[in-house]
Amino acid sequence: MFSEFKQKIVKDYTRLTGILLLSVSLVIYIAGSYMSYKEQMQQIQMLAVEESEELYYKLVDTDISDVSIDENFTDMAPDYFSRIFIYGYDINHTPFLQHNNLSWSQPYIDDIISSGKMNYHQVYFHFKLVDNRHPKAFITMRYPLFKGAQSVGEVYVGMEVTHWLREQVRILFALLFTVLFSMIFVYFIAHKMAEKAMVPVVKSFEQQKQFIANASHELRTPLSIIMSGMTVLKSYDDNKLSNFSQDIVNDISDESVKMKKLIDNLLLSTRSDNNTLKVNPVKFALKDIIIKSYNKFTLLAAEKNISISLQNLPEISQLTLFADVNQIEQILAILIDNAIKYTDENGSITISVETVHRRIFISVTDTGKGISAEDLPHIFERFYRAEKSRTHYGNGLGLSIAKMLAQKNHGDITVVSQENKGSCFSLVLNR
Ligand code: ADP
């Protein structure tokens, strides 16, 4: 029970820390990438400004067809020089200038230029898969050329940034790997912390459990004495007790039975928690146990005028099970008792058996008050009572015990219920 809770704390803490780490890392990454992209943009803008200024002065006394920019590249770093391209066109779109060391880029640049989608003075980012295999990235800029005040052509400058993009992807993967690695680290730290934090809780829970076990045990003897005293008093010559005294004896007797049931259930729960509950599987005929359980409750059902019936019994006449017969009986008793308790007068209850492959479904279906969707996920929790009005006697232990016993016998209990329509509880066992 606590290990599940601890696991949940550890998972939640790790998830939360992971989300936080990832968000912070991504924000820093995006900011860093954006800044370095801006640097790339500034580089190309500077190149464009330098080129346009140089060409502007050249065009003062030279014709556009004689313009060259060779001398401009001599002072550039070779690495930078090999990554840039410059294309010049006159007003008739005739090329007068072409510098391009990037052999792969020609068709893409032609495409971009002929599409006419680039505005002047804006930087554009392009990503292409060359030969469907090699990712290439480059940024471009377009600017107009003037001779004096007259427009005489335009120039496209571009720069390959594949290397920069690769670097960004590498950083991103390194970041994700670091976050993942940190999460593994955080998981172990959270595990240790949760373990430490749980120590006082587990200790106090153990003390409570011990107290319940001791108290239930100690209450058994006085209760047995009260119950046997009541049995003696009831069998006492009726004439010697006034009607009032008889009523009191009957009340005490009824309440003692309820108290015994509660104490037995508490002891059973603590035994299950301490793993001291024994399961003694034997081979038995399922039909006999179902009839026995049915017979036990016919009187109780009749008191509320509830019809109780058995279904499909002939089909299972040969069916035998290997399980703890007393515990299976106890589960059926809890389910049938609940069905009677939570069904109004004149309702009906059906006990049916169905086999699907190697599984057996023993179902108790009632036409009672049903369970709301809100309560349904909790009804198997210890001490949980969907019925807050407390019109029916109960302590919220029955279903948790039934489920625990079913699981001890390698089975389970499932439920389908609709408010104000009824419920169907099935004990599922393996053949
Ligand atoms: P108890 O009956 O003592 O309250 P249980 O553990 O047996 O405790 O049941 C838990 C809750 O589930 C009950 O309080 C009741 O609200 C709901 N419940 C159980 N069986 C039925 C049923 N057949 N029909 C409607 N509600 C049910």
- Tens-level pLDDT at each residue, the chain (431 residues): 678 888 888 999 999 999 999 999 999 999 999 999 999 899 888 888 888 888 888 887 777 777 765 545 555 666 677 788 888 888 888 888 888 878 788 888 888 888 888 899 899 999 988 888 888 999 999 988 888 788 888 889 899 999 999 999 999 999 999 999 999 999 999 999 988 988 998 899 888 888 888 888 898 889 999 999 888 888 776 667 788 888 888 899 999 998 999 999 898 988 888 888 899 999 999 999 999 999 999 999 999 999 999 997 777 778 899 999 999 999 999 999 999 999 999 999 999 999 988 899 999 999 999 999 999 999 999 989 887 656 777 888 999 999 999 999 999 999 999 999 999 999 999 98
DSSP per-residue string spanning 272-314:
HHTT------EEEEHHHHHHHHHHHHHHHHHHTT-EEEEESTG
Task: For a ligand 1 pocket test, name from 340, 367, 371, 416 the mutation site with the most ligand atoms within 8 angstroms of its C-beta.
Answer: 371
Which tokens belong to 25? 């890392």
Atom 17, ligand 1: residue with shortest CA distance: 386
- C-alpha distances (whole Å) from 430 to each of 30, 290, 402, 424 are 57, 16, 16, 19
Whole-number Å distance, alpha carbon 267 to ligand 1 midpoint, is 20
Q: Which helix or strand (DSSP H or E) is residue 18 part of?
A: helix 2-61
CA of 326 to the centre of ligand 1 (A): 21
- Confirm or reject: Cβ of 156 under 6 Å from ligand 1: no
| Protein residue with least CA distance to atom 14, ligand 1 | 385
Distance CA 212, CA 266 (A): 7
Let me know the angle formed at the C-alpha of 89 by 83 and 94, rounded to the nearest 5 degrees: 125
C-beta of residue 156 within 8 angstroms of C-beta of residue 86: yes
Whole-number Å distance between alpha carbons of 122 and 109: 16
Distance CA 370, CA 312 (A): 24
pLDDT number for residue 381: 93
pLDDT for the residue 409: 96
Atom index in ligand 1 nearest the CA of residue 396 equals 8
The rounded Å distance from CA 107 to ligand 1 centre is 77
Per-residue model confidence (pLDDT) at position 68:
67
Query: Does the CA dihedral 44-46-47-53 come out positive or negative?
Result: positive
- Decide: 400 and 380 in contact? Cβ < 8 Å: yes
**Phi and psi at residue 360, to the nearest 5°:** -120, 130
Q: Is 379 in the pocket of ligand 1 (CB under 6 A)?
A: yes
Token reading at 158: 């571009």
pLDDT at 75: 58
Q: For residues 318 and 410, is the Cβ–Cβ distance under 8 A?
A: no
Atom of ligand 1 nearest to the CA of 422: 24
- Angle of helix 243-273 versus helix 398-408 axis, rounded to 10: 40
The pTM of this model reads: 0.62
How much is the pLDDT for 319? 87
**Sign for the pseudo-dihedral over CA of 252, 255, 260, 266:** negative
Distance 399 CA to ligand 1 centre (A): 7
SS3 383: coil
Measure 380 CA to ligand 1 centroid, in angstroms: 9
| Ligand 1 atom closest to Cα of residue 387 | 16
Distances 339 to 251, 308, 364, 371, 417 between C-alpha atoms, Å: 24, 10, 7, 12, 12
**What was the pLDDT predicted at 71?**
46
The CB of 366 under 6 Å from ligand 1? The reply is yes
Q: How far apart are CA 270 and CA 306, in angstroms?
A: 34
Tell me the best of 341, 342, 397, 417 to mutate to test the pocket of ligand 1, counting ligand atoms within 8 Å of each CB and taking the most. 342
